[in-house]
Structure 1
Amino acid sequence: MPTTPEVLLLGATALHAGFQLTVTTLVYPRLADTSPADWHRVHGRHSRAITPLVAVVYAAVLAACAWALLDPGPAVVLAAAASAVALGTTAALAAPLHGRLADGPDPRLLARLLAADRVRAVAAAAAVPAALVAAVG
């Protein structure tokens, strides 16, 4: 079977959902539990370690969405829209909050980051069934 944009969209959205759900369920809870004394070290290490992974995962999602949207059906549009919500939430909320949290832990900013992260997780997970429908349809 030849590779189609929809199959690549499915792979990219599944990769993204797996990454995002790992961050939401494992990474951020540990980050949130970091003591103020360890915050700078732990947050800095987290930021340095996750940035290249975010770049690869997001590039895959963007490329797959762009290719699939060249000839979209409703399921492709839905998968791309859900992915856009997740990526947009990162750009508009999570990344700036991480920048502000680099100065030190702030419970209000951390709560906003965790809320934004839940939005990303739901959106990334929602993209997968839509991409599956596009791939098998």
Structure 2
Amino acid sequence: MPGTPETLLLGATALHAGFQVTVTVLVYPRLAETSAPDWRRVHGRHSRRITPLVAVVYVAVLAACAAALADAGPADVAAVAASAVALGTTATLAAPLHGRLTERDDRLVARLLRADRVRAVASVLALVAAVAAVLA
């Protein structure tokens, strides 16, 4: 049913999962290959370009999650919880790591890649739960 909280949640989690998997599979591996001499320039460009997109995706997810919680079933709650893990991982791990990566640091890059995989798995799980919510 178009316009229901469940369909909004489905759309937002699909957008988020698509974005996050793209970052995990394409964007971050390329970033991780960046040499130390090029790091500041490449990382800075990445941060400037991706920040507005992250804002749009996360606002959509937050709004859809809020709407879905108004009359939530178990699948809605699961989708919201998985989305919270993904967004929380960004807020507590990925964003602070980006802030610390003014110079290339292999240890911090490895931590960023691990945090990013958590976000990818959580966003896909949120999508699966949102599909279940629509089908319920």
TM-score by length of 1: 0.98
Match in the other structure for 1:116: 115
How many residues are matched?
136
Separation in structure 2 between the aligned mates of residue 135 and residue 2 of structure 1, nearest angstrom:
10
Corresponding residue SS for 2:37 = coil
Identity of aligned residues (%): 76
Match in the other structure for 2:131: 132
Corresponding residue SS for 1:3 = coil
Separation in structure 1 between the aligned mates of residue 129 and residue 82 of structure 2, nearest angstrom:
9
Match in the other structure for 2:22: 22
Separation in structure 2 between the aligned mates of residue 66 and residue 2 of structure 1, nearest angstrom:
17
Extract structure 1 runs of 4+ deviating beyond 6 A: none
Structure 1 alignment gaps of length 5 or more: none
Structure 2 alignment gaps of length 5 or more: none
Separation in structure 2 between the aligned mates of residue 51 and residue 3 of structure 1, nearest angstrom:
28
Show CA shifts across 1:1-34 (max 9, x none): 4410000000000000000000000000000000
Match in the other structure for 2:49: 49
Q: What amino acid is aligned across from residue 67 of structure 1 in structure 2?
A: A
1:8 aligns with 2:32: no
Show CA shifts across 1:103-129 (max 9, x none): 201011000000000000000000111
Corresponding residue SS for 1:38 = helix
Match in the other structure for 2:85: 85
